[in-house]
Amino acid sequence: MVQGIANWNTEETEEWLQQYVDDWVAFYRKHTNDGEVASYIPELQKANPDALGIVIKGNNGITIRSGDTEDPFTLQSISKAITFAVACMERGVSYMLQQVDVEPTGEAFNSIMHLEMKQVKKPLNPFNNAGAITVTSALPGDTSDDKLEPVLKLLEDMLGNRPELNADVFKSERDSSTRNRAIGYYLLEVGFLESDLDITLETYFKQCSIDVTIDDLARIGMILANDGMDPKNGEEIIPRQIARITKVLMLTCGMYDASGKFATYVGIPAKSGVSGGILAAVPPRVRDESMPFTDGCGIGVYGPALGEEGNSVAGIRLLRHIATQWDLSIF
């Protein structure tokens, strides 16, 4: 990387960064062949397996957008980071940490093995399905729409517009939800749920079915990178402590059983979803003028072809490449 660029925030440098990212997206698009679009929710299978796109929003005002940036997709498990933050805002951090632990499982996102084998007193973290469904049950409200309201409100506060639910994905997930129902019944049996099981599951399927774009994810990532503050106007959207815990969980549990490898090779707090989205938050770091985005940035990636662990295969490789080239790791 070129030495001594004092100001990255110029048209010339932006164009230059854009060309790099365009080349990298074109290269990593071929890697989509190494993954497969999720099929256990039939509606998700309609996604274009070759799609790959990225949006990077820097705190310095630079935005880089490349590849398939317009395709909307559903939040899926990325919603777990949002609902955890919302539950902490609504119920308090210490209360929520009594309901759900903050330990990685090293297991698949929908595994419940650890719940029984370890006889845990609470789900191990809010980002596997058992923990996420428990968190959703703690959202205030008697109906799924009531419970979803503060989630949509937080998204609206961050994005400037209220995202829509994708009704087809919602129905498809609801109608193919045997695994999540099994998890839900187990949680009910051991007394972890605070709300009616059907209402909790309906809310969980709805939160997974919220439509977003990678512009949206990059914006959310930028706010998390700033410890919950909107860099545009200095407004606190998520309390600092909650934003920080959310990022810790993204780093330790956000990519499921690939979280350790992702932390090692990419080193950025991130959360994936089975529709192929990745939300990443790059906090500001020690200034090195030869690198762009030292003031921090949010990144949204979309690549629906998934690897074995349920994460975008080309998306992870693209992020790894960019993080290495631009020294984005927090470590």
Shortest Å, Cβ 43 to ligand DON: 11
Shortest Å, Cβ 294 to ligand DON: 30
Query: Is 329 known to be catalytic?
Result: no
Contact map string, positions 186 to 215, toward ligand DON, x by CB under 6 A? ----------------------x-------
Shortest Å, Cβ 272 to ligand DON: 5
Alpha helices, DSSP H, located in the chain: 11-29, 78-91, 93-99, 113-117, 129-137, 144-159, 167-174, 178-189, 197-208, 214-225, 240-253, 259-265, 313-325
Backbone angles phi, psi at 150, to 5 degrees: -65, -25
Return d(Cα 15, Cα 176) in angstroms, integer: 45
Structure tokens at 243: 């934003």
Query: Is 177 known to be catalytic?
Result: no
Catalytic pick among 77, 172, 195, 209? 77
Contact map string, positions 124 to 163, toward ligand DON, x by CB under 6 A? -----x----------------------------------
Distances (CA, A) of 5 to 1, 75, 204, 289: 10, 37, 46, 6
Distances (CA, A) of 218 to 35, 153, 201: 23, 18, 28
Q: How far apart are the first and last CA of the chain?
A: 19
Q: Is 84 in the site for ligand DON (CB under 6 A)?
A: no
Query: Is 28 known to be catalytic?
Result: no
Contact map string, positions 42 to 81, toward ligand DON, x by CB under 6 A? ----------------------------------xx----
CA angle 2, 63, 225 (to 5 degrees): 90
Residue 154: closest CA among 226, 90, 71: 90
Q: Is 8 in the site for ligand DON (CB under 6 A)?
A: no
Catalytic pick among 80, 147, 206, 271? 80
Q: Is 2 strand, coil or helix? A: coil
Q: Is 109 in the site for ligand DON (CB under 6 A)?
A: yes
Binding-site residues for substrate = 77, 129, 173, 180, 204, 256, 274
Binding-site residues = 77, 129, 173, 180, 204, 256, 274
What is the set of active-site residues? 77, 80, 204, 256, 274
Q: Which residues bind ligand DON (CB under 6 A)?
A: 76-77, 109-110, 129, 173, 180, 208, 272-274, 310
